Chain A
Amino acid sequence: MTTDMSNISTTPEQPPVEAIRHSPAVAVLLIHGQADLHSAPELREQLHRVIDDGAFHVVVDLTDATFVDSMTLGVLLGGVKRLRPQGGQLRVVVTQPGLRRIFEVTLLDRVFMLFPTRAEALDRL
């Protein structure tokens, strides 16, 4: 497995989801702009792909996300379900309080591990 960055995009503009292989066992998914029902299929695909490619832990970075909806949360939940049986973790980087609140009111902050920065999320993985 290579460790260099693999960038998969579906639109010529800024891709909604960017996959970065941080280490053989850790993948980072960088989400840009609106993470909603329209970008959810792309996120789901990328998430499955990095897990299938051998990522043990996945960090979803929402620092650049402007909006997160229930569909996106659902996709992330699906990722947790896939990672947990093998002991993997799905960590979420949430900087903005508005987005953090979404996780809190749905109690998903108890399911995902939330971190304020990517560095902290990647620490000890």
Chain B
Amino acid sequence: MGEMPSDGHPGLERLERRLGPRTRGRPAAIALGAVLGLAGVGLGLVLHIVTSGASYAQLVGAVALAMVLGGVSAAVAATVVGWGVGAFLLENPDWQPVFVDRDEFLRWSTSLLAAVVVVGVGLTMRRGHERAAVAAVEAERSRRRLEAIQELTASLSAAVRPADVAEALAGGVVEALGASRGSFGLIDGADLVVVESGDGTGRAPAASVRMPLGARTPLAAAARQGHVVWVERRAELVRAFPDSPTRDAASVLAVPVRRAADVIGAMAFAFREPGAVTLERRAVATLAAELGGQALERARLYELERFEAERTGRLQSLTAALAESLVPADVAAIVREQGIGTAGADAVAIHLVSESGEALELEGASGVDATGLEPLARLPLERNGAVATAFSRGRASFHPTLGTLAPDDPLNASAEAEGLRSVALFPLGVSRRVHGVLLLGWRTAQALEPVDRAFAGTFASQCGQALDRAIRYESERTIAETLQQSVLPQALPEVEGVTFAARYLPGESGVDVGGDWYDAFTLTDGRIALVVGDVVGKGVEAAATMGQLRNSLRAFASEHEDPAEVVRLLSGMVEAHLDAPFATLVYLVLDLHDRRCRYVVAGHPPPLVVDPSGSARYLDDGRTLPLGVDGDVPLEAAEATLETGSTIVLYTDGLVERRDAPLDVGLELVRETAGSVAGGPETLVDHVLRGVFDGTERYDDVAILAARLEPVGADVLDLRLPADRDGLRQMRSRLGVWLTQLGAGPEVRNDVLVAAWEACANAVEHAQGPAIATFGLHADRDGQMLRLRVADTGRWRSPGPGVAERGLGLPLMRGLMDRVDIVHAAGGTVVVLERRLDGAESTGRSRPARVFADIPRGTTQS
């Protein structure tokens, strides 16, 4: 071992002295080892940071620990090795064999072994800590990914409509991926309907735009090809996808969205930094696309279900509405209202076959302009066309585009005018009876899928059935109504000393015309005959029977004085010649000279007599079996003498029969009601009908006839007459008789008659509504003052410019009367006329009549 010269460092020299000459090389060896160790630590740290890929901050804790342990162990190992190498180099400069003795060998091998062990332990510990650190980072990332996926799943499951899904996907995935923006596209025909997410800051997404499926964008490519597409650099994006916006995209990732096996769209995400499409991001995007596809499917099923529920609801409300429609016009109105929206239809039109059967006529339409449908207003069946064909073949036809129509089809022009792109036509009716055609139109082209066709078909079939029902019902009802109208007297007789009132009310259910009728006429000997009858049965047959009964009764009554004989003959005729099982009636003959009446009640409710005092009683005698029933019941007319001022009331069972109470109750109600009224027969009849039916539904039809024996020289005239020409003339003649009775002079009589005519004529002109429209005139005298009230159910026609021809009525009345008041009330218009009886000429003449304002001034007679 050679002498090692001291390099003069005091610390080393002190160490050398303490360790002795055999350890002279050790301090240098230790220093060398420490340097090597620190270098190893630094290298490890750099390598660690570079390779970990994790963010520095997150790794600091774990790396610091690994670094310290690794560094320490490396330092120790390097120290030991350095010590050995240093010792060897220093103590054996001559490169003598190392292991000259056993001690030396042991020392070397031991130190080497120790170094290896320490390095091994250190490295192992460092790796362990490194691995733990990477696992922690990985766990953190997967937690975040999971959170994003969870959030997405939650927002997807809250999305019920496809549009919600698109929004949730476009926004949610952008956030999960940390992308700068995203877009979601759904395939629609040859296009993609694209929703942009914005930047994931929760701002409302821009309105959807359409992008051709063939566009050169990653989004379209993914949708087209059905696999993941990504681009790592802006240059590559510009080259491969020139249609793609590149404003903030350095890398782009696009994934297809599938429903079951079909690609239905795609999602694309842009990243500001290049190379951002990591394996992890691809996995997240793919998973999101899968979730999105499922959500879309769910949304589709939900929409389907909603449509289904809506359809069921539609059909239910349709059925309910149709059940109440009795005439074709009602059915057409319902079809028009409810057709809109059926299978999404924007337009509805209904054609019905014309009465001649030669053409289809437009009955109604909605969702369209009348002008646009002008070409379809009348479609002769001999000319072909889709609408006429649907009718004549009785088959529905669907036109997803109008190109399938013949060029000269009038439907072309209408569809073009209305902007309809698709049309469906359905025959309306039942198997062999087709009455019209239902047209549904769409302003956007429709594929008209089978489910829509089926639904629209069901709609049309319901409407067709209702229409068929209404048409058949209408024809029957029209006949029956006509017959009944012909049976009921157009006017009641005008007889001095009797005033009449009669009403016929059809059953409120309106399903059938009933068999109730009434008649009143003067016999040749001056007596007055009153009849109210009821034929069992409804509709045309009952109405026809009524007609025969009425005519026969009039014939028999003219020949036989005894009411019993008349009824006997009638009964025989019913039995022999009429199909009706039986009919009931009251026949009453009134002699005005002695106010005696004779009557027969054939299976009918009894007549009611209301005394002038107001006490009312039923005439319970004269009863026999209904007409047409053969029996041995003696048939004899009963007699009753009435007071002046009494009213006889004949009626049918509909007035007294009630579903909720026995007959007695109904009879008593009518008796009480009739007894509690003061006034003429018109008032009485109205009062009874109101009292009996107010607030309750009338099931059956009702006929009621009242006749009052008026005191001679009555100061009151109470008329209710049919609102027609005959009614007006009757009014004039009866008012004339009454005025004469009052002793009115010819001028007053003339004036009142003309003024009353004008008031009543106006009332007649306004008469509308129910089949039997009437007007009323009430006249009374108070001292020398005559007062007339005329009531209609409409509005007084006020004279306006250009209606001079009609406008003269009011000036005329004002000229003739002392006072004219026109009162407009809720129920109609009442005209009140006043005129003094004592002949003083009306002052109305001084009033200038403004109707002449527009007469050209010319030669006037001087």
Whose C-beta in chain A lies nearest to the C-beta of B811?
A106
Chain B positions within 8 Å of A109 at CB level: 861
Contact segment of B7-15, B698-706, B848-856: B848-856
Encode B452-474 as 1/0 by CB contact (under 8 A) with A: 00000000000000000000000
Minimum CB–CB distance for A95 against chain B, Å:
14
Chain B positions within 8 Å of A38 at CB level: 725
Q: How far is the CA of A70 from the CA of B820 in the complex (A)?
A: 16
User: Known: A36-B761, A101-B751. Contact between A111 and B805, CB under 8 A?
Assistant: no
A65 at the interface (CB under 8 A from B): no
Chain A positions within 8 Å of B147 at CB level: none
Whose C-beta in chain A lies nearest to the C-beta of B764?
A37
Q: How far is the CA of A109 from the CA of B442 in the complex (A)?
A: 66
Minimum CB–CB distance for A47 against chain B, Å:
12
Whether the Cβ atoms of B758 and A101 lie closer than 8 Å is no
A49 at the interface (CB under 8 A from B): no
User: Known: A37-B761, A106-B812, A107-B848. Contact between A74 and B856, CB under 8 A?
Assistant: no
Chain A positions within 8 Å of B725 at CB level: 38
A124 at the interface (CB under 8 A from B): no
Q: How far is the CA of A111 from the CA of B860 in the complex (A)?
A: 6
| Contact residues, B398-447 vs A (CB, 8 A) | none
Whose C-beta in chain B lies nearest to the C-beta of A104?
B845
Whether the Cβ atoms of B844 and A105 lie closer than 8 Å is yes
Contact segment of A7-15, A17-25, A80-88: A80-88
Whether the Cβ atoms of B856 and A73 lie closer than 8 Å is no
Q: How far is the CA of A94 from the CA of B747 in the complex (A)?
A: 16
Whether the Cβ atoms of B855 and A80 lie closer than 8 Å is yes
Q: How far is the CA of A105 from the CA of B754 in the complex (A)?
A: 12
Whether the Cβ atoms of A74 and B808 lie closer than 8 Å is yes
Q: How far is the CA of A112 from the CA of B858 in the complex (A)?
A: 11
Q: Contact size class for A?
A: 20 to 34
Whether the Cβ atoms of A98 and B750 lie closer than 8 Å is yes
Interface core residue of B747, B754, B758 (most chain A CB under 10 Å): B754
| Contact residues, A74-125 vs B (CB, 8 A) | 74-75, 77-78, 80-81, 84-85, 87, 89, 97-98, 101-102, 104-107, 109-114
B231 at the interface (CB under 8 A from A): no
Whether the Cβ atoms of A73 and B808 lie closer than 8 Å is yes
User: Known: A77-B804, A105-B845. Contact between A85 and B860, CB under 8 A?
Assistant: no
Chain B positions within 8 Å of A37 at CB level: 761, 765
Whether the Cβ atoms of A113 and B816 lie closer than 8 Å is no
Whose C-beta in chain A lies nearest to the C-beta of B805?
A74
Whether the Cβ atoms of A67 and B852 lie closer than 8 Å is no
Chain B positions within 8 Å of A74 at CB level: 804-808
Whose C-beta in chain B lies nearest to the C-beta of A112?
B861
| Contact residues, A43-81 vs B (CB, 8 A) | 67, 69-71, 73-75, 77-78, 80-81
Q: How far is the CA of A71 from the CA of B807 in the complex (A)?
A: 8
Q: How far is the CA of A89 from the CA of B729 in the complex (A)?
A: 32
Chain A positions within 8 Å of B858 at CB level: 84, 87
Q: How far is the CA of A81 from the CA of B844 in the complex (A)?
A: 26
Looking at the complex, which one of B729, B806, B811, B856 makes contact with A84 (CB distance below 8 Å)?
A: B856
Q: How far is the CA of A101 from the CA of B804 in the complex (A)?
A: 19
Chain A positions within 8 Å of B856 at CB level: 81, 84-85
Whether the Cβ atoms of B761 and A69 lie closer than 8 Å is yes
Chain A positions within 8 Å of B747 at CB level: 97-98, 101
B278 at the interface (CB under 8 A from A): no
Chain A positions within 8 Å of B732 at CB level: 67
Chain B positions within 8 Å of A73 at CB level: 808, 812
Q: How far is the CA of A81 from the CA of B852 in the complex (A)?
A: 11
B510 at the interface (CB under 8 A from A): no
Q: How far is the CA of A27 from the CA of B400 in the complex (A)?
A: 68
Looking at the complex, which one of B746, B805, B812, B861 makes contact with A78 (CB distance below 8 Å)?
A: B805
Whether the Cβ atoms of B754 and A81 lie closer than 8 Å is no
Whether the Cβ atoms of A102 and B812 lie closer than 8 Å is yes
Whose C-beta in chain A lies nearest to the C-beta of B765?
A37
Interface core residue of B728, B751, B812 (most chain A CB under 10 Å): B812
Looking at the complex, which one of B765, B804, B812 makes contact with A105 (CB distance below 8 Å)?
A: B812
Looking at the complex, which one of A34, A75, A105, A107 makes contact with B805 (CB distance below 8 Å)?
A: A75
B809 at the interface (CB under 8 A from A): yes
Chain B positions within 8 Å of A105 at CB level: 812, 815-816, 842, 844-845
Q: How far is the CA of A75 from the CA of B809 in the complex (A)?
A: 12
Chain B positions within 8 Å of A104 at CB level: 815, 845
Whether the Cβ atoms of A106 and B761 lie closer than 8 Å is no
Encode B284-328 as 1/0 by CB contact (under 8 A) with A: 000000000000000000000000000000000000000000000
B6 at the interface (CB under 8 A from A): no
B757 at the interface (CB under 8 A from A): yes
Whether the Cβ atoms of A89 and B805 lie closer than 8 Å is no
| Contact residues, B809-857 vs A (CB, 8 A) | 809, 811-812, 815-816, 842, 844-845, 848-849, 851-852, 855-856
Looking at the complex, which one of B751, B758, B860 makes contact with A69 (CB distance below 8 Å)?
A: B758
Whose C-beta in chain B lies nearest to the C-beta of A34?
B729
Minimum CB–CB distance for B552 against chain A, Å:
30
B798 at the interface (CB under 8 A from A): no
Q: How far is the CA of A107 from the CA of B847 in the complex (A)?
A: 10
Q: How far is the CA of A105 from the CA of B856 in the complex (A)?
A: 20
Q: How far is the CA of A112 from the CA of B757 in the complex (A)?
A: 23
B55 at the interface (CB under 8 A from A): no
Looking at the complex, which one of B757, B804, B805, B845 makes contact with A67 (CB distance below 8 Å)?
A: B757
Q: How far is the CA of A98 from the CA of B753 in the complex (A)?
A: 10
Whether the Cβ atoms of A106 and B808 lie closer than 8 Å is yes
Q: How far is the CA of A73 from the CA of B848 in the complex (A)?
A: 17
Minimum CB–CB distance for B27 against chain A, Å:
144
Whether the Cβ atoms of B761 and A71 lie closer than 8 Å is yes
User: Known: A105-B845, A106-B849. Contact between A98 and B808, CB under 8 A?
Assistant: no
Minimum CB–CB distance for A125 against chain B, Å:
13
Chain A positions within 8 Å of B761 at CB level: 36-37, 69-71
Minimum CB–CB distance for A96 against chain B, Å:
9
Whether the Cβ atoms of B815 and A106 lie closer than 8 Å is yes
Whether the Cβ atoms of B751 and A107 lie closer than 8 Å is no
Q: How far is the CA of A84 from the CA of B860 in the complex (A)?
A: 10
Sampled A-B contacts (8; CB under 8 Å): A70-B761, A78-B805, A85-B856, A87-B858, A101-B750, A101-B816, A105-B845, A114-B861
Given contacts A84-B855, A101-B816, 6 further A-B contacts (CB under 8 A): A34-B729, A71-B809, A74-B805, A84-B856, A106-B849, A113-B861
